[in-house]
Amino acid sequence: MPRAGPPLAQAGAAAPDTRALAASGRPTDRPFCTGGSAGRRIAGGHGANPLGVGLDTSVFHRRRTGGHGPLVPHYTGRSRVLTYLATLPAWAAAALIALASACACGAILWTLLRTGLAWRLATDVPNDRSLHNAPTPRVGGWGVVPVGVIATLLLAPGLWFSALGTAFLAAVSQIDDRRGLPARVRFAAHVLAVVGLVSLFAASAPWWALAILAFLMLWLVNLYNFMDGADGLAGGMALFGFAGYAVAALLSGHPSPELAWSSVAVSGAALGFLFFNFHPARIFLGDAGSISLGFLAGAFGYWGWRGGVWPIWFPAMVFAPFIADASVTLARRLLRGERFWQPHREHYYQRMVRSGVGHARTALAWYVVMATGIMLAVFALGRDAIVQWCIVAGWVVVLFLAGVVVDMRWRRFQSTLSDE
């Protein structure tokens, strides 16, 4: 733990109130950074903090000697965590947060299975549109959501609305998982969370641009739910996608450790969930998990763009595999005049599983695509705009060709069935 000394006292006197900034909703490039040497690892009062983040001066108070004196630590649960993280290299802190989140999520889900409570909370019964044959509890959200929400409130208080919005959607979706809710009620909850975020934390953009972003976020919330239909798929997208957010938030020219820590916590929770969800799955994510992850993906992506951490295309490229599959499938069904809101088995990942690739190999193939796209997206950050958009366009072409390959395999599979 850094020593409190004169450099901290000097920095603390001039440091802005970061909690006030977070409460105001204004984006800050370094939400925990207090400026001066308070953001440095103290070694004689000098040396750069590898986190790129300072200690929150709210965790210090002045020793009362007539109202004056040096800053000394005032320890609370949150301040101890932040102070300890500030002593670690960035990647060590990220690994620690991810490991803790994975263990916490895994412990919750293991307990639910061990006690049998998982089956009583919500159970998925197979039907003619399912890719599985046995009833399976869909309580993955009970592990992922609490870990993600608590970690965000603890490590990134400026993202409080994202955390509370996630908890709200998880609660509504859990009711839907257990008892069922009308579509209009579910959609109203999605609209409330997304519009609340964009309204309370509006970016410096025209109203019509914010309206388009809100619509795209609503689509992301729902498409994440649509894509949760094969073992290990939605959990893998969360693992890779939020890890990509975390890396970008640290490496950006306008880094946001706050966004990085909350993202890596969600990624770690997804890893803990995957221990139970990779084929053969013992637990499904459920609407409480998939809707919440879709909202977090959009909310964190919006927050990063709003704060200048990454450009507008970055979140879309990170989650491009899910966006491409769901959007192309929806467009096809609309063109055929089908009722697009009804469940079906026509997604690309569903066709891969049904044509003989299987759950495990389908998930692994998607992991390769996810990781490749995210690495390209992170590589593109900081490049010239023309280079960035060329990389984005190139990745769109790659996804298009991947879809063509899946379509060709599907047609061969259908032809084989018809010959039999």
| Domain positions in the chain | 6-77, 90-419
Determine the Cα–Cα distance for residues 295 and 159; give it in Å rounded to an integer.
Answer: 13
pLDDT band for 191, please (50, 70, 90 cuts): very high
pLDDT band for 76, please (50, 70, 90 cuts): low
Segment 155-163 mean pLDDT: 95
Report the pLDDT value the prediction gives residue 79, as an integer from 0 to 100: 66
Asked if the model's pLDDT at residue 28 lies above 70, the reply is no
- CB-CB contact of 270 with 332 (8 Å): no
Determine the Cα–Cα distance for residues 367 and 364; give it in Å rounded to an integer.
Answer: 5
Report the pLDDT value the prediction gives residue 114, as an integer from 0 to 100: 95
Report the pLDDT value the prediction gives residue 369, as an integer from 0 to 100: 98
Asked if the model's pLDDT at residue 179 lies above 60, the reply is yes
Least confident of 44-58, 72-86, 112-126, 370-384: 44-58
Most confident listed range (34-43, 69-78, 88-97, 123-132): 88-97
Report the pLDDT value the prediction gives residue 157, as an integer from 0 to 100: 92
Torsions phi, psi of 67, nearest 5?
85, 5
pLDDT band for 143, please (50, 70, 90 cuts): very high
Segment 272-284 mean pLDDT: 96
Report the pLDDT value the prediction gives residue 317, as an integer from 0 to 100: 98
Report the pLDDT value the prediction gives residue 212, as an integer from 0 to 100: 96
Report the pLDDT value the prediction gives residue 161, as an integer from 0 to 100: 96
Q: Output DSSP code: residue 255.
A: -
Asked if the model's pLDDT at residue 37 lies above 50, the reply is no
pLDDT band for 47, please (50, 70, 90 cuts): very low
Task: For the chain, give the percent of residues with pLDDT over 90.
Answer: 69
pLDDT band for 10, please (50, 70, 90 cuts): very low
Closest by CA to 301, choosing from 320, 316, 322, 323, is 316
Is 287 among the annotated ligand-binding positions? yes
Least confident of 26-30, 146-150, 180-184, 291-295: 26-30
Mean pLDDT of the residues in the chain: 84
Helices 359-380, 320-335: axis angle to 10 degrees equals 110
* Global model pTM greater than 0.95: no
Determine the Cα–Cα distance for residues 269 and 325; give it in Å rounded to an integer.
Answer: 24
Helices 385-419, 320-335: axis angle to 10 degrees equals 50
The beta-carbon contacts of 95-98 under 8 Å, at least 24 apart in sequence, are: 97/151, 97/155, 97/261, 97/264, 97/265, 97/268, 98/243, 98/264, 98/265, 98/267, 98/268, 98/271
Asked if the model's pLDDT at residue 1 lies above 50, the reply is no
Asked if the model's pLDDT at residue 138 lies above 80, the reply is yes
Report the pLDDT value the prediction gives residue 313, as an integer from 0 to 100: 97
Determine the Cα–Cα distance for residues 176 and 289; give it in Å rounded to an integer.
Answer: 12
pLDDT band for 80, please (50, 70, 90 cuts): confident
Report the pLDDT value the prediction gives residue 53, as an integer from 0 to 100: 43
Report the pLDDT value the prediction gives residue 60, as an integer from 0 to 100: 38
Instruction: Choose between 77 and 107: higher pLDDT.
Output: 107
Report the pLDDT value the prediction gives residue 14, as an integer from 0 to 100: 43
Report the pLDDT value the prediction gives residue 338, as an integer from 0 to 100: 86
Segment 116-141 mean pLDDT: 87
Report the pLDDT value the prediction gives residue 269, as an integer from 0 to 100: 98
Report the pLDDT value the prediction gives residue 77, as an integer from 0 to 100: 59
Residues ≥6 apart with Cβ < 8 Å to 363: 230, 231, 232, 233, 236, 278, 279
pLDDT band for 7, please (50, 70, 90 cuts): very low
Asked if the model's pLDDT at residue 29 lies above 70, the reply is no
- CB-CB contact of 8 with 60 (8 Å): yes
Report the pLDDT value the prediction gives residue 105, as an integer from 0 to 100: 98
Give 234-274 pLDDT, tens digit per residue.
Answer: 999 999 999 999 999 999 999 999 999 999 999 999 999 99
pLDDT band for 45, please (50, 70, 90 cuts): very low
Instruction: Choose between 322 and 91: higher pLDDT.
Output: 322
